[in-house]
Amino acid sequence: MNVDDVIRERIEAARRKAENDKRRREELAAARAAGLAHRHAQKLRNLNRGDTPTVASAARTETPAPSKETPMAATKPVHVLLLCPACRAQRRCRPVGTAVVGKRRREVVECGDKSCGLQWVAAREHLDATPTAA
């Protein structure tokens, strides 16, 4: 076996490897595009179904105008004290809608500070159902 033969074999092996890598990348790109198209189609089907609330749909819903049957206290906005992640301080926050996170509906709140206005899904910490004995 000649040195030129060894070099020729290595060059051919490198060419075959490059062709295989290119073919594999093209196959993966086609599968990725097909999966992306499938996910977009599924998302559109879910949005058209309309049974899953989103932040956008919650923002579009209008609050009813107060009537004589409805007292004014029922339409008064609710504010809670929460730790705003952007301000890093406890602020008065108001609920602005709902969002679906992990197949569960969560409340979206907005920071009441004029300079902040951050909207986020507040984490709820639940207390134990049974009190611990002291």
Note the Cα 121 to chain centre separation in Å: 10
One domain, residues 81 and 45: no
For residue 128, being part of any structural domain is answered with no
pTM exceeding 0.85: no
pLDDT above 80 for 134: no
Q: pLDDT tens, 40-87?
A: 888 888 777 765 555 445 445 555 555 555 554 555 667 778 888 888
Extract the tokens encoding 95: 């609920």
**How would residue 133 be classed by pLDDT, with cut points 50, 70 and 90?**
low
One domain, residues 28 and 13: yes
Q: pLDDT tens, 79-132?
A: 778 888 888 888 888 888 888 888 888 888 888 888 888 888 887 655 444 555
Domain with 7, as residue range(s), is: 1-51
Q: What distance in Å separates the CA atoms of residue 10 and residue 104, rounded to the nearest whole number?
A: 57
For residue 86, being part of any structural domain is answered with yes
Phi-psi region of 83 (alpha: psi -120 to 50; beta: other; left: phi over 0): beta
pLDDT of residue 63: 52
For residue 134, being part of any structural domain is answered with no
One domain, residues 35 and 71: no
Distances (CA, A) of 103 to 39, 53, 56: 16, 11, 16
For residue 132, being part of any structural domain is answered with no
For residue 43, being part of any structural domain is answered with yes
pLDDT above 90 for 6: yes
One domain, residues 45 and 68: no
Distances (CA, A) of 86 to 29, 53, 59, 96: 38, 26, 22, 17
Total domains in the fold of the chain: 2
